[in-house]
Amino acid sequence: MTALIHPTQAQLTEADQKALTDLYIRGTPANTLRAYERDLIYITAWRNAVFRSAPEWPEREEVALRFILDHARDLSTADISESARTAAEALIAAGLRQSLACPAPTTLDRRIASWRAFHRMKNLSSPFDAPLLRQARAKARRAAARPIVSKSAKPIVRDLLHKMLATCEPGLRGMRDRAILLLGWASGGRRRSEIARLRREDIDLEEFEPRGLVWIRLSETKTTARGMTPKLVIKGSAARALVAWIDAAEIQDGALFRPISKAGRPLARDLSAEGIYQIVKYRLEKAGLSRDMASPHGLRSGFLTQAALDGVPIQAAMRLSLHASLAQASAYYADVDLDRNAATDLLE
């Protein structure tokens, strides 16, 4: 990935190129860098399979158009000798593509967005900005449109959360899981990656004793850049659960949430995002519910859904959820049954 980022090679010294590359890396969220890397691998493999050569900079418009056309249809019905199908099968064999089915429009959009970003990094115009390519993208998006599928089968609203919390047994494991569930929900519905990245240094307990408040500083989120995320606050049972975990596990610094050993001791390493996923599934199962009922994203959707049910103004909920788009946050409010919407009781 770092070899790709050399914007104006003819105008910059080697030292400037190195400094600018470092700036791009430091100024780009880690998740975005990983997505760029995956997309670059995919684009390179696809181009080699179809054109027997690596990407060019700037890329030719006919190559970009071919990329859109090859990813805007179901190739399982294509002739086995067709180059688009042959290339797709090579990508499947390499573990870069799942099937011959038409990829989701969002997947195509993301890969094109990455390809355009690679051009910007090199201070080059993108072929995808050409009128024909822009129209082809729009048509491909419409042709392959799919119903929106929720990231969690069911939002973890307050009643469901309490059922999961009731399964958190005494001991460090139960205290940790309780703190994770409550912090993840009450702080605005945090993504599992955000929970996993939390450090003890991100938790401010100065106002816990006098006011019962715990302040949280996220390093970055999906919608905010590193260092630009506003501080969040939790109170009540969520704050007490987090402080209880910190005290019992004697977390002085480093990872806030950690795996528990078989001997019942917290380990020194971070609890991964996958670990958060498994905790949510485990607590659902312990509550006598299906593991498939919800995912960690259910904490996020559950927070906003509960806010809607309780009549909390969406702007207030968004100050904690940190949604960048009012339209996206509004979707959770729209999911609330109309007869349970607090606005229907205004006359009464």
38 within domain boundaries: yes
Maximum Cα–Cα distance across the chain: 73
Q: Which of 143, 171, 187 is the last residue of a domain?
A: 143
Measured CA to CA, the distance from residue 238 to residue 213 in angstroms comes to 10
**10 plus 86 within the same structural domain:** yes
pTM for this model (two decimals): 0.63
Per-residue pLDDT of the chain (348 residues; tens, 9 = 90+): 555 554 445 566 778 778 877 888 777 777 788 889 999 999 999 999 999 999 999 999 999 999 999 999 999 999 999 999 999 999 999 999 999 998 888 889 999 999 999 998 888 999 999 999 999 989 888 887 766 555 556 899 999 999 999 999 999 999 999 999 999 999 999 999 899 999 999 999 999 999 999 999 987 666 565 656 788 999 999 999 999 999 999 999 999 999 999 888 999 899 999 999 999 999 999 999 999 889 898 999 999 989 988 888 888 888 888 887 787 778 777 666 566 666 777 776
Q: Which of 116, 143, 170 is the last residue of a domain?
A: 143
Measured CA to CA, the distance from residue 297 to residue 150 in angstroms comes to 9
* Overall number of domains in the chain: 2
269 within domain boundaries: yes
Strand ranges for the chain from DSSP E:
203-204, 213-216, 232-235
**71 plus 207 within the same structural domain:** no
**80 plus 169 within the same structural domain:** no
Domain hosting 20: range is: 2-143
230: nearest Cα among 242, 211, 215: 215
**105 plus 214 within the same structural domain:** no
**119 plus 257 within the same structural domain:** no
**175 plus 97 within the same structural domain:** no
**132 plus 180 within the same structural domain:** no
Residue 37 CB: number of other CB atoms within 10 A? 14
153 within domain boundaries: no
**195 plus 334 within the same structural domain:** yes
**109 plus 199 within the same structural domain:** no
